[in-house]
A and B are shown apart, each in its own frame.
Chain A
């Protein structure tokens, strides 16, 4: 079955340090991959997507993600974390253009001052 996995329930990082939130996928064909962020008791916000082309995708709030086909990964990164980046991050994919996203379980990011 096609799926996306976020292997870490929680990531802790100090403010100013680089952060990585991991996502791996198991999808046949060429997936569309996405990252969304959710702040406490709020809806989700779109961060970035990979459809095709350059493997390094830049998104909102200084985030970027690298599509790695050989490792079937799409990790979210930021060079310097802010306390305000603390939130729940979701990786998702779409395969077959059926206009539905399949979601990972989320990773809680805590940035400590």
Chain B
């Protein structure tokens, strides 16, 4: 089955530690996105990438880092510089092929990070 896999589903971290969230897709999509979701705040874009070895900051990139070394993978690192990292993190992908962008995003099941 094609889809997006995020891991781990739940993660606990101590303050001051970096943590990396995995996102893998087998949909052959060019674009990948990381969102942060907090109750009552909707989805906020952290980083996105439209091509391998290139990515752009979203609205709340501070304290986060990403890489896009392979088309299938877009890991997110939550660094110790992120002041309030406890949240639900969602990875998504989208096809850019064949004309205007359709706007249809495919989401993973999310990773819930809790800082102790």
Contact = CB atoms under 8 A, between A and B. Distances in A.
B94 A99 contact: yes
Interface string B76-116: 00000000000000101010100011111111111010000
B41 A49 contact: no
B52 interface: no
Given A41-B110, A43-B108, A46-B105, A100 B45 contact: yes
A104 B37 CA distance: 12
Contacts of A106: 42
The number of chain B residues touching the other chain, given as a range, is 20 to 34
A32 B41 contact: no
A86 B105 CA distance: 21
B104 A49 contact: yes
Interface in A93-108: 94, 97, 99-101, 103-106
Nearest to A42: B109
Given A99-B96, A104-B42, A44 B105 contact: yes
Nearest to B44: A103
A87 B112 CA distance: 18
B56 to A, nearest CB: 9
Given A42-B109, A43-B110, A103 B43 contact: yes
Interface of B: 4, 6, 31, 33, 40-43, 45, 48, 50, 58, 90, 92, 94, 96, 100-110, 112
19 contacts: A9-B40, A41-B110, A41-B112, A43-B4, A43-B90, A43-B92, A44-B92, A44-B107, A46-B104, A49-B102, A90-B42, A92-B103, A97-B100, A99-B31, A99-B50, A99-B94, A99-B96, A99-B101, A100-B48
